[in-house]
Amino acid sequence: MRQESLDFLTIALGGPRIYSGAVVDDPWMNAGGREAATPSDISAALKLFCSACVVHAAMIAAVLGAASLVV
């Protein structure tokens, strides 16, 4: 897969943050991305999530369909 096809989410995730008053110094995922998300980033992330759900549902349907042929 070419790198250009992976650039639809250009935000950095994770990184340093505070949980219950304690600093968690985790590394950034996609460290080259922006730290602040925009509404279009949220929309792109939701589209990615929905696409993944459709693929997951199709895989489950295929497995259940194949299982019904065995029984």
Q: Render pLDDT for 14-38 as a digit per residue (tens, 0 to 9).
A: 899 999 999 999 999 888 889 888 9
Position 7 confidence tier, pLDDT thresholds 50, 70, 90 = low
**Which pLDDT does position 3 carry in this prediction?**
46
Distance of CA 66 to the CA centre of its chain: 28
C-alpha span between 26 and 37 (Å, rounded):
18
Output 5 or 54, whichever has higher pLDDT: 54
pLDDT for 18 equals: 94
SS3 19: strand
- pLDDT of residue 66 exceeding 90: no
- What pLDDT sits at residue 57? 96
Using CA atoms, how far residue 9 sits from 23, 27, 44, 59, 63, in Å, is 26, 17, 7, 24, 31
In sequence order, the β-bridge partners of residue 19 are 22
